[in-house]
Amino acid sequence: MEKFETITLTKTDKIATITLNRPNAANGINPTLASEFAAAALDCDQDDSICCVLLNANGKFFCAGGDLKAVGGDPSKAAVKIKGMADNLHRATSSLARMKKPFIVAVNGMAAGAGFSIAITGDFVIAAESAKFTMAYTAAGLSPDGSSTYYLPRLVGMRKAMDLMITNRRLSAQEAESWGLINQVVPDDALQATAMTLAQKLANGPTDAFGIVKKLLLCSFDNSLETQMELEGRAISERAGSANGQEGVLAFLEKRKPKFS
């Protein structure tokens, strides 16, 4: 286990688990947590022994967003502190989005502000029945960060993204699923087991192919049809020549389960 103050990072059987660990502060993001989250995300990205990353949280809250107590004591320094926290949060988000490994988020309670932003960056998002989602930024006179202005319009459309960010509408886990924000809602006591079962399945899959899927989807809104198809053609050709691609095709032809490296 890596040593951190506000999070934990454990690695077992090709799975890295990052746990937000400020339960007495609703897992609010202070400068230390933002910095440690960025460091843990980079570690997971660079560690070739890891094939799947799971983010969860300790306590009743997933994450209540930025810890305003940590930045509001001295108004003259608030802007600098907020920018530093946002920069580290964005470094973490970029590492997790750009890495080839699947990224799973297990939301166990309230996800507010940056907690909401972090939650929806997952490649797979599983929420407990009691989970709640709210943007909350404008309620404090602030604007969103954590990549939410990128992901929300792509997930729910511009109208609903505007609604969530301006009105701070609170969504239940079931509403978040129906809006397309998350993949699955499970009973509270089944959240961690469900997320880990998925992580184990993905960790034994073709990680390099998963990485190509992530890469192609991230650029799909910015490319023309022809550009995107050219990227697809080059990617599937590369995969066909790879060890995992050859193993997958051979296993299909031999009607057996593939053994991916």
Taking the domains of the chain in order of start, what are their residue ranges?
7-203, 207-253
**pLDDT classification of 74: cutoffs 50, 70, 90:** confident
Mean pLDDT of 113-138: 98
Write down the pLDDT at residue 170: 98
- Model confidence over 20-33: pLDDT tens digits? 999 999 999 999 99
3-class secondary structure per residue, the chain: CECCCCEEEEEECCEEEEEECCHHHCCCECHHHHHHHHHHHHHHHHCCCCCEEEEEECCCCCECCECHHHCCCCHHHHHHHHHHHHHHHHHHHHHHHHCCCCEEEEECCEEECHHHHHHCCCCEEEEECCCEEECCHHHHCCCCCCCHHHHHHHHHCHHHHHHHHHHCCCEEHHHHHHHCCCCEEECHHHHHHHHHHHHHHHHCCCHHHHHHHHHHHHHCCCCCHHHHHHHHHHHHHHHHCCHHHHHHHHHHHCCCCCCCC
Given a cut of 80, is residue 75 above it in pLDDT? no
Write down the pLDDT at residue 1: 58
Taking the CB of residue 126, how many other CB atoms lie within 10 A of it?
26
Instruction: Please tell me the distance from the alpha carbon of residue 176 to that of residue 187, in angstroms, as a whole number.
Output: 15
85 close to 146: Cβ distance less than 8 angstroms: no
Write down the pLDDT at residue 261: 87
Given a cut of 80, is residue 153 above it in pLDDT? yes
Given a cut of 90, is residue 76 above it in pLDDT? no
- Model confidence over 250-260: pLDDT tens digits? 999 999 999 99
Radius of gyration of the chain (CA): 19
Write down the pLDDT at residue 2: 65
Question: Shortest CA distance to 40 belongs to which of 54, 26, 27?
Answer: 54
Write down the pLDDT at residue 77: 80
Average predicted confidence (pLDDT) for the chain: 95
- Model confidence over 38-47: pLDDT tens digits? 999 999 999 9
- What CATH number does domain 7-203 carry, 1.20.1440.130, 3.40.50.2000, 1.20.1440.230, 3.90.226.10? 3.90.226.10
